[in-house]
């Protein structure tokens, strides 16, 4: 599957992030809880050196709860603070500021010991497309209306808003590029909607997703498409797309199944969590 992410685009976004990173004391990395490996930028550690970091496992409302907890523990074991959140409903967001403060406490204490009273900290959001960066910023900025301008001497054009006492956030997120290391990563990004559909073969993608769903057999997938009478283990995914299209009455003239429409529907329903809470990637141990 070809994924369009031009090197030129990547260089431009990287430069912008490097510039913004100089302005902040900590970084908040948002990833998709359904694909914590594929939705992480491969160069994140190199980009953020020596800065406290918080990982937000977003969309936890549509990820498997147990898997998300395994990921939180996994990050913790690797010395990274992680928090599951659902930016759509706001679940988990209340724990964000206390966790961030904890990561910043060493720096704050250091500055205080040097005589600074109430040192103010600045943070920025980073993440690959579609992980929920804007949703998070909207949610947290609505709760905290006060917007402050740039400090003198700092790049013009940046808007900061106060998220808590002496804690400010940059209102534009850093858009990172995903990794394109292997076919599985590309597919997982595409299944979850991180990659635009118009650059992919939508039918092929849906067939690949059905391959996975056939293995996982989520009960809600089976009941939504009334597949109780289908022997999933012995049905080709290509055929399964036809069966699903027919069951939903997606036919074109001549009685043939409209495969493209059926493919779009399968992908849409998966992306919006209609087949239940499904995590595609688990920690190794
Ligand atoms: P980005 O800035 O990182 O590119 O992501 P953005 O906030 O635009 O969110 C991408 C999609 O993910 C949006 O859906 C958004 O509603 C959805 N989303 C964000 N956070 C969550 C979450 O915690 N749970 C779930 N289930 N979805 C989340 P969309 O289909 O593009 O738009 P819409 O459905 O909001 O209209």
What is the DSSP code string of 72-86?
HHHHHHTT-EEEE-B
Q: Would you say residue 188 lies in a domain? A: no
The answer to whether the CB of 39 falls within 8 A of the CB of 252 is no
Residue closest by Cα to atom 12 of ligand 1: 132
Summarize pLDDT for 226-272 with one digit per residue, the tens: 999 999 999 999 999 999 999 999 999 888 999 999 999 999 999 99
- C-alpha of residue 78 to centroid of ligand 1, in Å: 28
Best residue among 135, 136, 196 to mutate for probing ligand 1, ranked by most atoms within 8 Å of CB: 135
Residues in the chain: 285
**Using one digit for the tens of pLDDT, what is the confidence trace for 127-144?**
998 999 999 999 998 765
| CA 210/CA 189 separation, integer angstroms | 15
Q: Which atom of ligand 1 is nearest to the CA of 128?
A: 3
What is residue 68's predicted lDDT score, i.e. its pLDDT? 98
Ligand 1 pocket, mutate which of 36, 83, 88, 136 (most atoms under 8 A from CB): 88
Residues of the chain with pLDDT under 70: 1-8, 143-157, 197-199, 285
Task: Say if residues 173 and 125 touch (Cβ distance below 8 Å).
Answer: yes
Of 58, 132, 192, the residue with max ligand 1 atoms within 8 A of its CB, to mutate for a pocket test, comes to 132
pLDDT at res. 145: 54
Same domain, 256 and 157: no
C-alpha distances in Å from residue 150, one per residue of 13, 153, 168 = 21, 8, 11
Residues 121 and 250 in one domain: no
Tell me how far apart the terminal alpha carbons of the chain are, to the nearest angstrom.
Answer: 29
Q: Which domain holds residue 92?
A: 8-171
Asked if 50 and 136 sit in the same domain, the reply is: yes
In a domain, residue 32? The reply is yes
- Is 162 domain-assigned? yes
Q: Is residue 42 domain-shared with residue 149, that is, in the same domain?
A: yes
* Domain total of the chain: 2
Pocket of ligand 1 (CB under 6 A): 58-59, 61-62, 86-88, 127, 129-135, 273
CATH code, 138: 3.40.50.300
Q: Is residue 267 part of a domain?
A: yes
Going by alpha carbons, the residue nearest to atom 29 of ligand 1 is 130
Q: Which atom of ligand 1 is nearest to 273's Cα?
A: 26
Give CA separation, 243 vs 40, 165, 268, 276, in Å: 35, 57, 17, 21
Say yes or no: 147 and 239 in one domain.
Answer: no
Q: Whole-model pTM?
A: 0.91
To the nearest 10 degrees (0 to 180), the angle between helices 183-191 and 202-216 is 90
- Which residue's CA is minimally distant from atom 15 of ligand 1? 132
Residue 115 pLDDT: 94
Domain presence at residue 196: no
Q: Which of 153, 171, 189 is the last residue of a domain?
A: 171
Q: How far apart are CA 87 and CA 59, in angstroms?
A: 7
Identify whether residues 133 and 255 lie together within a single domain. Answer: no
Q: What is the DSSP letter of 91?
A: B
């Amino acid at each position: 599957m070809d994924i369009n992410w031009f090197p030129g685009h990547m260089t431009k976004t990287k430069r912008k992030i490097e510039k913004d990173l100089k302005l902040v004391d900590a970084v908040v990395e948002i990833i998709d809880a359904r694909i914590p490996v594929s939705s992480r930028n491969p160069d994140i550690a190199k980009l953020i050196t020596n800065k406290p970091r918080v990982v937000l496992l977003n969309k936890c409302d549509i990820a498997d709860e147990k898997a998300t907890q395994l990921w939180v523990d996994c990050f913790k074991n690797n010395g990274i603070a992680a928090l599951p959140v659902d930016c759509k409903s706001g679940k988990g967001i209340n724990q964000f500021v206390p966790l961030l403060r904890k990561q910043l406490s060493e720096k704050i204490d250091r500055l205080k010991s040097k005589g600074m009273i109430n040192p103010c900290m600045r943070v920025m959001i980073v993440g690959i497309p579609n992980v929920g960066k804007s949703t998070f910023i909207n949610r947290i900025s609505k709760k905290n209306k006060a917007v402050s301008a740039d400090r003198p001497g700092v790049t013009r054009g940046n808007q900061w808003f106060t998220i808590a006492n002496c804690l400010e956030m940059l209102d534009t997120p850093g858009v990172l590029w995903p990794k394109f290391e292997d076919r599985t990563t590309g597919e997982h990004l595409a299944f979850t909607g991180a990659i635009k559909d118009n650059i992919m073969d939508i039918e092929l993608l849906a067939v690949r997703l059905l391959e996975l769903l056939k293995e996982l057999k989520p009960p809600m997938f089976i009941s939504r498409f009334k597949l109780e009478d289908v022997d999933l283990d012995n049905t080709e995914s290509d055929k399964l797309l036809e069966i699903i299209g027919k069951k939903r009455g997606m036919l074109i003239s001549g009685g043939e199944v409209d495969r493209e429409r059926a493919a779009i529907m399968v992908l849409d329903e998966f992306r919006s969590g209609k087949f239940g809470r499904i995590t595609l990637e688990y920690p190794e141990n």
